[in-house]
Amino acid sequence: MRESVQAEVLMRFLVSEELSFRIPVGLDYETGDPYAVRMTFHLPGDAPVTWAFGRELLLDGINGPSGDGDVHIAPVGPESLSDVIIRLRVGGDSAMFRAGAAPLVAFLDRTDKLLPMGQELTLGDFELSLEEALGRILAEENAG
């Protein structure tokens, strides 16, 4: 049985040093994909954009710089539960968002109550789901 946790937070979309605006961002966690969280960014005039990345990456990024790839999360200041900057990169393009740490911690706390970090492998169907997903990916690559 798949269970989930959802939340919505307001983040600042940092267009430049002088320009930013608030946008709603949906947070989603499902036990069917126990290592990932999804953020759906609702930018004005555009279709929502969803990014999936590690739940642990989000937790680590609240406490210190985290992420070496397309997703980088870091606290703005050294004080506990300061705002965080989330940078998403695709090729040479990137987008930056600023969020309060408190609602992210509250969301992560709810995910941890649903499925504690480190217990992801206790889900019986996760390994099977992973094998199925990898099989589909490989089939698509071989077909294209």
* Residue range 9-22, pLDDT digits in tens: 999 999 988 999 99
Q: What is the pLDDT of residues 95-134, one digit of tens each?
A: 999 999 999 999 999 999 998 888 777 665 555 566 666 6
Please give the structure tokens belonging to residue 44.
């004005």
Q: Domain map of the chain by residue range?
A: 4-142
Contacts of the segment 50-58: beta carbons below 8 A, 24+ positions apart:
51/88, 55/29, 55/108, 55/111, 55/117, 56/117, 58/104, 58/108
Torsion sign over Cα 50, 53, 56, 61: negative
pLDDT of residue 38: 97
Q: Do 35 and 115 meet the contact criterion of CB atoms below 8 Å apart?
A: no
pLDDT of residue 115: 86
Question: Whole-structure pTM over 0.85, yes or no?
Answer: no
CATH 2.30.31.20 fits 4-142, yes or no: yes
